Structure 1
Amino acid sequence: MPGFLSWITDALAKRHPPAADWQPRLFNPDSPPTPVGDSARRKAIVEHLESNLFCWLLDAEPHQLRAADPIQESLLAELEQRLDNRQLEELPRKPWSLPGVMRALASDHADRRAVTRTIQSDPSLTEQLLLMANSPYFRPGDQPIESVDHAVFVLGVDGIRNVITAAVMRPMMAARNSREALFAQRTWRWGLACGCACEMIAGYRREDSSAHFMVALLPALAYLTIRRELCRISRGQRRGSEPSPAALQTALSRYQWRVCQLLANAWALPPKYHAWLMAAERPAPRQPHSMLTQALLLGSREVLRHARQRNLPEEELRSSIRLPEQQVVSIQAAVQTMLEESKSPPSRG
């Protein structure tokens, strides 16, 4: 299987270059986009939302994201070379417990005791799981969860899947220093909002909700990975300077999906993860948004709404995602509840 996944990554790296007027974005309304009629309107909507999201994540004003940066192309060229050679120094390594956890949870009839034993075999995962299970994101009531067995009992095997995913990802998203603290905090919250939305959309369609929760967290981890890599490059080229908001925004927009695919490949995630990421990066022309894209749109709008940032009107979002109204209302309520009840940044535990 690793050979097959490597083949996928190679194929993605060698795919035909995009049309001259198209650049990879977080929200891609068409592939390749043809800016006419309804397609042009959707394109403008999602680009507006994406711009607002980057302003919030990077704590920057719109003019800062458009400002000229004379060293930007040098930074991006070095980043692209590292991506081409698969030499990202900041790419998170696969958590050693991930394969066993995924196997234990793969079956719809996973045994509670087997799941508990798998988690307890990794003390670090156990600690993180209990932290996440007791956080407002996941805890179903006011009573503290004191053990892994208790967590599995209270949340059920289905409920514990997303807690484990968040527990695996959480340490990677923790800020290393004060300079990246705000970005890490906001990116983590954004990732969880998108994960919640993706899980619910998949549930409505009777698909694997826990797998969709995990794939929706990958863009957030990719963002932090890109920021760290670009900062590392910038320190080398500028002797300590941080990259500008404009350089960061360009790097995040241009390389987010490539880094997501590298993560999926490095972690030996199943082929369906690659397919979902590709469907978001390269949607079929005149087709509805993929579940992942719908979740990113919803999660982004809700996290901006909660933070009282510039945003999209409700009717524009709904016309773009094309989900049943009641589903949209339910997803928005769940995401807002999650955001309201948990406002603290991730820590190292």
Structure 2
Amino acid sequence: MPGFISWISGLFSSDKPTTATAPESRLLNPVVSTSDSPDIDPALVDQLEERLFCWLLDSPPATLRSETGQWDEVLEQLRWRIANNELDELPRQPMTLPMLMRALSDANTGRNQLTEIILNDPALTDQLLQIANSPYFRSGDQSIDSVDQAVFVLGMDGIRNVISAAIMRPMMAARNSREALFAQRVWRWGLTCARSAELIAKIQGQDSSVYFMAGLLPALSYITLRRELQRVCRTESGLTEPPPSLIHIALSRYQWATSQLLANEWGLPPKYHAQLLAAERPAPRQQHTPLNDGIIIGTREVLRHAHQRNMPEEDVLRITHISREQFTRVRKVILDTLEAGAKTRA
């Protein structure tokens, strides 16, 4: 995307005032109308985000906090790598992605044509069948045994989401025991947020095609940043493993910038960049995006299902732009999915 890297660099330019150099972006950004919700306490959202990081990093709140300036050198190196698109761990564009994106956006693409594209990538084929039979996508007891069957049963919208998940899943698989729990939880959280965003878009009659993949990108940015931090720590501080307090700061500060880098590296259409930017920096009274609400609801439900502290339902409804009836519909699907996933893991 023309000018995209210069935009990223501009976020971190060292000749700007300190207040603009490394903005503390938030993951959970409710779009609050001052007339509709005048009493929203930002601390509510901050608490939910902190509880998410406690769960993802398997750490109590105290260990997520660090002394002022404790990690400045490491974070500065990470900032530089992001600003200059020099992340060694940034996943490169999957080879079949451009062809798949074109096929899925073309109304004339037939089932056989799409099936052929997928079958030409054996690794993608294996991942797709695994994902299609997972609780997040499989409906009923009948297993999906072929790509053609998956395309037929799931339809174009459903197979688009399965392809997104199948492409990202290998990138987020744990490389070693140290990151195993983190990778497992980030994947579950990402799928839940992506599914929530997609369901909200469908219920509200919006084009849901962008929301599932966009909802997965923050999760992929988390595993990318954690791995990049490990590289930086080894060269800058001699640490073999970044501590939870450092990971927490890095994820909080650079999650959206890294998501944008991923979208750019993969050549995703401009609408993906637009949705990510709208979720990161919602303007007052802007047309609301299901991505914000999907991440908030997905975060709340995955924490609740894991028996972690989360957020009362009334507060969720206050900071999202969906009705109680819509929330109930989305929550039922998400809970059924999480329960089925728990049984599969057991």
Q: Give CA deviations for 1:77-101 in whole Å, capped at 9, x if unaligned.
A: 1100111211100000010111111
Q: Give CA deviations for 1:208-248 in whole Å, capped at 9, x if unaligned.
A: 21321000000000011001100111122333431111111
AA matched with 2:2:
S
AA matched with 2:337:
M
Distance 1:345 1:25, change over 3 A: farther
AA matched with 1:43:
P
Pair 1:243-2:267 in alignment: no
Offset, 1:147: 1.1
Check the 8 A contact 1:69/1:247 in 2, yes or no.
no
Query: Normalising by the residue count of structure 1, what TM-score does the alignment of the two structures yield?
Result: 0.90
Match of 1:342, SS state, is: helix
Q: Distance in 1 between matches of 2:184 and 2:100?
A: 26
Offset, 1:22: 6.3
Name the residue aligned to 1:266. Answer: 265
Match of 1:6, SS state, is: coil
Check the 8 A contact 2:66/2:246 in 1, yes or no.
no
Check the 8 A contact 1:30/1:282 in 2, yes or no.
no
Name the residue aligned to 1:28. Answer: 29
Offset, 1:19: 5.3
Match of 2:59, SS state, is: coil
Q: Give CA deviations for 1:233-285 in whole Å, capped at 9, x if unaligned.
A: 11223334311111111100100010011001100100011111111111112
Give ranges in structure 2 of 5+ residues lacking alignment.
Answer: none
AA matched with 1:215:
A
Name the residue aligned to 2:114. Answer: 115
Offset, 1:43: 1.6
Q: Distance in 2 between matches of 1:81 and 1:169?
A: 25
Q: Distance in 1 between matches of 2:223 and 2:340?
A: 24
Instruction: Name segments (4+ residues, structure 1) moved above 6 Å.
Output: none
Offset, 1:29: 4.1
> Which range moved further: 95-104 or 151-160?
151-160
For 1:128-277, list aligned pairs within 5 A: 128-277=127-276
Identity %: 51
Check the 8 A contact 1:110/1:157 in 2, yes or no.
no
Q: Distance in 2 between matches of 1:148 and 1:180?
A: 31
Match of 2:2, SS state, is: helix
Query: Normalising by the residue count of structure 2, what TM-score does the alignment of the two structures yield?
Result: 0.91
> Which range moved further: 195-204 or 337-346?
337-346
Distance 1:126 1:181, change over 3 A: same
Q: Distance in 1 between matches of 2:343 and 2:103?
A: 31
Q: Distance in 1 between matches of 2:264 and 2:237?
A: 32
Check the 8 A contact 1:91/1:263 in 2, yes or no.
yes
AA matched with 1:318:
L
> Which range moved further: 53-62 or 285-294?
285-294
Give ranges in structure 1 of 5+ residues lacking alignment.
Answer: none
Matched length:
340
Distance 1:74 1:56, change over 3 A: same
Q: Distance in 2 between matches of 1:324 and 1:234?
A: 45
Name the residue aligned to 1:11. Answer: 7
Q: Distance in 1 between matches of 2:266 and 2:39?
A: 37
Q: Give CA deviations for 1:169-211 in whole Å, capped at 9, x if unaligned.
A: 1101100000000000000000000011111111123332132
Offset, 1:108: 4.2
- The CA RMSD measured in Å over matched residues stands at 2.6
> Which range moved further: 207-216 or 217-226?
207-216
